[in-house]
Amino acid sequence: AEAVKIEGDARMAGYVERLTDAGIAVMAHIGLRPQQYLRMGGYRKFGKTEEERKQLTCDAKALEKAGAFSILIEMTDHRAAAELTANVSVPTISCGSGPFCDGQVLVMTDVLGLSERAPKFAKRYANLAGDIVSAYSAYVSEVKSGIFPGEE
């Protein structure tokens, strides 16, 4: 890997600093943190209150100061994401946080239509789940009927 992504707030700055001091590139991840979503109150939009916007700004600045090369901002109010982008010097990447970050990202399984329930902010560009299920069903059917593998 050329970099690691660490979900967390300002309390993770010490870890980010130790990793970057060791030569490991770190992307910080704030707002919704999927690996911690239950502890954070579930899937919801962050940065809607003044208190949350201040905390997100504090987090972003601490992680930037610790050496993060960029900050992924997930499922955060677009005004808060714009404010964060204006207040840090590293690139910000939006994942469901509006158009005002330096870049955009969506999870591959959502884009390709592989997830049953994609987040509200995601856009499906294909519906491959159906094709995959059909392909494996055909394979299983051919194995069970003896068509596959053939003599060739």
Angle 50-65/78-87 helices, nearest 10 degrees?
A: 30
Of the residues 50, 74, 116, 151, only one is catalytic, namely 74
What is the edge-to-edge ordering of all strands in the sheet holding 103-104? 4-7, 26-31, 70-74, 92-95, 103-104
DSSP string, 87-138: H-SS-EEEESS-S-SSEE---HHHHTT--SS--TT---S--HHHHHHHHHHH
Query: How does DSSP classify residue 126?
Result: -
Question: DSSP 3-state assignment of 59?
Answer: helix
74 is catalytic: yes
Q: Which residues are catalytic?
A: 74
